[in-house]
A = this chain, B = another copy of it.
């Protein structure tokens, strides 16, 4: 296994070549997609996919199309989420949002394009292998990204604005908006390496708690952060009357819950037959993060 930064660099260097490998894309559409893909960010999902894959005996080079596909899905969800009809954000990672630069029409198409490109890239990679692992990874990723996964979380989020905070609903939103793509990263990474169901179940449990801890710290940052450290406007959740963990449990309660979820994530790693130090360290790093 390599370092977080090594997996992150691999991903960042591959994103635009992967897009170009699809063929000729109209220039303005290509630019809009590239703009958001190059906006930086922590690249958590592709890094976790590549690390999980190598932990289970795979090769990050072979898993790279799936890692890039996952980052494309995350990126499209941010582009559409920032649209005026959704969260109406004009700043993301310290830069103007996609629709501010390219217009709403191209931003909608760039989002659609990244989602489609993700499936296309994975299918194209899977066709080139002589086993079904790539197809399984594709299925796992599309399922977690879809209408019972990430999109379900987004829909629950927009339809919950202004409602009375409710533990079950907040948890549903967090699980799907955030934890589902982390689960996809871990499960797909393992599936590509041919891991067993018991191992996949363990990383699923890890990713669920990791996702909850991650979203809780995200909610905390929205309250405590500054535009400078966040690269986006803080306080948006409150302004939009979002149903967050903070609204339910307050700042201290959420800090406590985030610590507990990060611990549960680490415990889930204990049954794995591999050295999972990379993932334990990542879970610990979430608590107290400042961006």
Interface positions of A (Cβ within 8 A of B) = 19, 22-26, 28-30, 33, 76, 80, 83, 85-86, 99, 103-106, 108-109, 111-113, 115-117, 119-120, 123-124, 126-127, 132, 135-136, 138-139, 142-143, 145-148, 151-152, 154-156, 158-159
Contacts and interface: CB of A to CB of B under 8 A. Distances in A.
A113 B33 contact: no
Given A108-B108, A112-B115, A116-B147, A142 B123 contact: yes
A115 B22 CA distance: 18
A151 B119 contact: no
Nearest to A19: B147
B120 A151 contact: no
A120 B149 CA distance: 11
21 contacts: A22-B147, A23-B148, A24-B152, A26-B156, A29-B152, A29-B155, A30-B147, A33-B147, A85-B105, A109-B158, A111-B112, A113-B146, A115-B115, A116-B142, A119-B142, A120-B139, A120-B143, A123-B143, A124-B139, A127-B139, A135-B135
Q: Lowest 9 A-B CB distances belong to which pairs?
A: A85-B104, A123-B139, A29-B155, A23-B148, A119-B119, A116-B146, A113-B147, A120-B142, A26-B155
